[in-house]
Amino acid sequence: MTYFQGVRLYSALESCVFTGLLVVWIGGLGEHAQLVLGWCHGIGWLFLCAAVLIGCVRRVFPWPVLAATVSPLGPIGALIAIELAARQRRIA
């Protein structure tokens, strides 16, 4: 598995955790689940930011992927930006 594919997969996983957190929070489905998912998302998002930063420095990702990762969209923004970068790699 390449670094690009690994971060791409991790971004998808982090997006699922973030989506789960939103569902639990909006639905009021439990404070404990919200706490656990919140911590998992927060720490996971920091690792995702670090992984994308390393990828940008190594020129695996273009810098706009990092901008999308640290945007308010968080892991969903990263997932969209990485998928766009993957599409550009296939075209080039």
Residue-level pLDDT at 20: 96
- Identify the domain containing residue 43 by its residue range: 3-91
Residue-level pLDDT at 8: 95
Residue-level pLDDT at 14: 96
Residue-level pLDDT at 84: 93
- Which phi and psi angles does 33 have, rounded to 5°? -60, -40
Query: How many folded domains does the chain comprise?
Result: 1
Q: What is the pTM of this model?
A: 0.90
Residues 6 or more apart whose Cβ sits within 8 Å of residue 40: 17, 21
Q: What string of pLDDT tens digits covers the 92 residues of the chain? A: 999 999 999 999 999 999 999 999 999 999 999 999 999 999 999 999 999 999 999 999 999 999 999 998 889 999 999 999 999 888 86
Residue-level pLDDT at 91: 84
For residues 37 and 64, the answer to whether their CB atoms sit within 8 Å is no
Residue-level pLDDT at 87: 92
Instruction: Provide the residue count of the chain.
Output: 92
